[in-house]
Structure 1
Amino acid sequence: MSSAAGSALAHAESDLDREIATLGALDLAALRSRWRQGLRSAPPPQLSRALLLRLLAYRLQAKALGDLDRDTARLLDRLARERLRRRAAEARGKRSKAAPPIPPAPSPGLKPGTLLAREHAGQMHTVTVLADGFAWQDRTYTSLSEVARAITGTRWNGPRFFGLRDKPAMSSGGGR
């Protein structure tokens, strides 16, 4: 990415942060007004201020940074339909059968073929993202946390170990 493109992206994210902060300062009536302006429809009347704020912030982010990919949207729709089906079955007094297993997504934003690298104990470790998990040292793992545990011998949050999440604030007791 060129420095001009990086600068433009940083500026767009800064504008987005400001817009979301502005939303956070609005009361319920003003959020409903923003909904009508931005989405050209009346907001659902039962939505609380907190949920309305989250939905508007999501729409701003999706518009600026791109919405969910088709596969993720389908997965979420399938999960929602299954939940509604289970609730309806429970309301009728029937026990619903177990939900079909949903294959774990490798990690948000990671596409098959992506290489993750991390140095640990003086050794460089490279993990390849697969469609159905992660490959490290000729073995396949279902989660990054399993890979991190295999590398370190201790329990780790896999995305955090590979630098895909922010590090937590250090407490007086230390930690990872």
Structure 2
Amino acid sequence: MRRSSVDARALEAGIARLPDLGLDELRQRWKALYGRPAPKFFRRKLLVRAVAYQMQVNAFGGLSEVTKRRLREIAAAARDGTFDAAAIEPRIKPGTKLIRTWKKSTYEVMVLQDGFAWNGDRYSSLSTIAKTITGTNWNGWRFFGIKRPAAKNGTDIRGRFKRPKPGRDGKVVWPVSQHAARRTRRCRDGFDG
């Protein structure tokens, strides 16, 4: 226990000294921590933050694999043009009642337009309610058993088309809805409307 607090203090002191280092020293630290040279276009301030982060990861551990996978999914969606901030969290219709049994007690939470109601109080976060119930930090969505809906047939979780992957020629071909296909066939066959 004593050793970890000394390591934490030494780490904190090392991080506090980073802004005083020169650019060459920061690049050397980067190479030692990441195993490859720092990108040339990284500014000094970003190098300080990245080196500090990696020092903490080496000392205390980094992100969980689940978190890394989710961040990769968000980055891929942003890259493909299908990212929607509202799709990060599941949407629950206002008026829905969430019921959870915890240690032989049943808790009911009402979903509101702008948050949640429980025990006569309004909350903006399910996690706050879960923490109040359990006394420990919980992900509120997980505590109440809410899962993201799976994407279906080329659409995202909200029913919108996902950007298709480029073909071998690099071109993106968007799918055609059945209604649009019928309309195209009618026009091609000489029918109007």
Question: Normalised by the size of structure 1, how large is the TM-score?
Answer: 0.51
Aligned length: 117
The 3 A distance-change label for structure 1 pair 75 and 51 is: same
CA deviation after TM superposition for structure 1 residue 77, in Å:
0.8
Query: 1:99-118: per-residue Cα shift (whole Å, max 9, x none)?
Result: 682347xxxxxxxxxxxxxx
- Give SS of 1:46's match: coil
Which aligned pairs between 1:24-173 and structure 2 lie closer than 5 A? Answer: 24-86=19-81, 98=84, 101-103=87-89, 138-139=107-108, 150=118, 153=121, 158=128
CA deviation after TM superposition for structure 1 residue 8, in Å:
2.7
Query: 1:103-142: per-residue Cα shift (whole Å, max 9, x none)?
Result: 47xxxxxxxxxxxxxxxxxxxxxxx7xxxxxxx9613589
CA distance in 2, matches of 1:61, 1:37: 14
CA deviation after TM superposition for structure 1 residue 15, in Å:
1.4
CA distance in 1, matches of 2:62, 2:72: 15
CA deviation after TM superposition for structure 1 residue 69, in Å:
0.6
Query: 1:19-66: per-residue Cα shift (whole Å, max 9, x none)?
Result: 111212113222112112332311011111111111111111011001
Question: Normalised by the size of structure 2, how large is the TM-score?
Answer: 0.47
- Choose which of 6, 15, 23 in structure 2 pairs with 1:11: 6
- Give SS of 2:87's match: coil
The 3 A distance-change label for structure 1 pair 67 and 97 is: closer
CA distance in 2, matches of 1:80, 1:11: 37
Percentage of identical aligned residues: 24
The 3 A distance-change label for structure 1 pair 97 and 62 is: closer
Cα root mean square deviation, aligned: 3.7
CA distance in 1, matches of 2:68, 2:109: 26
The 3 A distance-change label for structure 1 pair 21 and 152 is: farther
Specify the structure having the higher radius of gyration (Cα). Answer: 2
CA distance in 2, matches of 1:152, 1:33: 57
Asked if 1 retains the 8 angstrom alpha-carbon contact of 2:30 and 2:37, the reply is: yes
Consecutive unaligned residues of structure 1, counting only runs of 5 or more, are 87-95, 105-127, 129-135, 165-176
CA distance in 2, matches of 1:141, 1:19: 48
Consecutive unaligned residues of structure 2, counting only runs of 5 or more, are 91-101, 138-193
Query: 1:75-101: per-residue Cα shift (whole Å, max 9, x none)?
Result: 111111111112xxxxxxxxx575682
**One-letter identity of the residue aligned with 1:43:** A
Asked if 1 retains the 8 angstrom alpha-carbon contact of 2:11 and 2:56, the reply is: yes
**One-letter identity of the residue aligned with 1:60:** M
